Structure 1
Amino acid sequence: MTDGPEVAEHHFLAALVADRDGRAADARRAYRRAIDVAKGDYPEAWLNLGVLEKGEGDLAAARAAYRRALELRPGYGAALVNLGKLEEAAGDAAAAEAAYRRAVEADPRHAPGWLALGQLQSDARRFDEAVASLRRALEARPGYDAAELSLGVTAARAGRTDEAIAAYRRVLARSPRSTTAWYDLGLALLDAGDPRQAGDAFRQAAAIDPDHVPSRRKTAELELASGRVADARARFEELLDLVPGDLPARAALAEVAAREGDRAGCEARARALLAEAPKDPAVQPLLARCATLAPRAAAR
């Protein structure tokens, strides 16, 4: 048998395996075979081909594949959301919003469509609309962590810190190893004026994912702000091990040296930064701060 639904499905399943294994060229060929055998009428294959093309950086091919899927299935929510993401990345927020709205109009319980719409509205600072859309996503899919996290981000942007904290804690009740939820909770707790609990949240995020640079950075910054200079030095040095050459961490270590009264160490770090980032507005004031320190007496 060389054609028919069973053969098309066989090629489609082979494409899924190749895609999963990172064999993009094999996956592309298998999706194309599935489409050819189905005489073009295979919207799922067009959708997945679009995802693959986007991953390979061919946005025009991805857009064409999504549109072909939509010609075959006009209310195809996944294709509409993916097409909307392409439009959003291209800077066409109106086209993206139209695609997301088509998805939720075709299927009012399409949670990813409501999520994408809510995130776009949040980015546009249309907070009340965003909250309504994100709540629709959660109604359609209770326990949808991505929507709950976006609800927290939206509340934080709107200055509703208590609501943001509550949203992040709901995520953590379901997914206690969510690095994103712990980190975002830490940011919200900082906004709420609770640096101690914020530090605990950032440390939790870093413990779950030691490579999570933002939480490692916030932990170090809080150590320094709290006057725990030796601990701050250790945390910033660990950050430099993770991200060699990181300019903010190097600037922070110059500040650590200043707080330790180490003028030579402060100036050496500040001058190295000035050589690499002469236009950084934070470097010159740092060098001036170093100059206010008394030189350390030479050891006898």
Structure 2
Amino acid sequence: MVLLQLVDIIADIFAQIGPQHTPSNEFVPDKFRSKWYLSPWQHAFEFVCYMSVLVPLSIWSYHRAIQHPMWINQRSVRPATTLDKVLGVGTGVSYVAIVYYKTLAPSMWRLPYALQPCHTLTLLLTILTVARGKMANLLFQVYVTMTWSSVLALSFPDMSDYEHLGDCINYFYEHVMMLLVPFVLWYTGRFDYIGSPSWIMFGFTFIALYHAAILQIVVLVTEINVATLMTPPAILKDIGIYYRPAQYMICFILHWLYNGVISVGVSSLATNPSSLVNAVPTPKRL
């Protein structure tokens, strides 16, 4: 009963800050505008449900994660090398390009899309190329678990709102760098990748809370359908009003499948670090 009253209160707030009959920005094309595909009450109900599950799960998985021997006995993150700084410039330029191209739209209506998870992760990756300390190590562990989003973006590119050639080129450059840079940071010894089940779960709760809490408010206030949180993508339209729980479930499955492969691959390379070199024949072998 108390939870339902809380849902009613949040629903009223969402209705007030969300899309109204008169659009707040007339320049936003209709297909990108936030609309009440779901009722404010359902938005509020899902919000309470996600918070009730994800917050405790995040706390639990975090406390389990930091008990891992590799975390307890972690070495200091080495100072940034020239290579690290070059990689940081490479990802930083990409993020600046993202923001620049999105500000070119009339009234800068595309700017909220800079908060899309992949763009936010690009900014985080830029920071990780030079950051030090336990927090940097924690964010690296979390970052790696979420790189499946880049694989998905490259496999099924959605550039429906991209209008400039440089923006389109940067789309692919950004997502390739999202996969390449963390591998280089690990392979060159800047970070040690843990990849335990607890860290994988914590990574999922991290990005899921970003969606369910921060982006939920963004799509309401800006009236831009960031991360399809207001209206479903074409592939999920047939599911109807339950598309968001289905979306989270699909992401949960992909998250575990992808990170399972990453953990096995990293373990294999760590056990036999010369495997990459041995895989390439030397002139004597040819």
TM-score tier after normalising by the smaller chain length: under 0.3
The answer to which structure, 1 or 2, has the higher relative contact order (CA under 8 A, 6+ apart) is: 2
The structure number with the bigger radius of gyration is 1
TM-score normalised according to structure 1 size: 0.23
TM-score normalised according to structure 2 size: 0.24
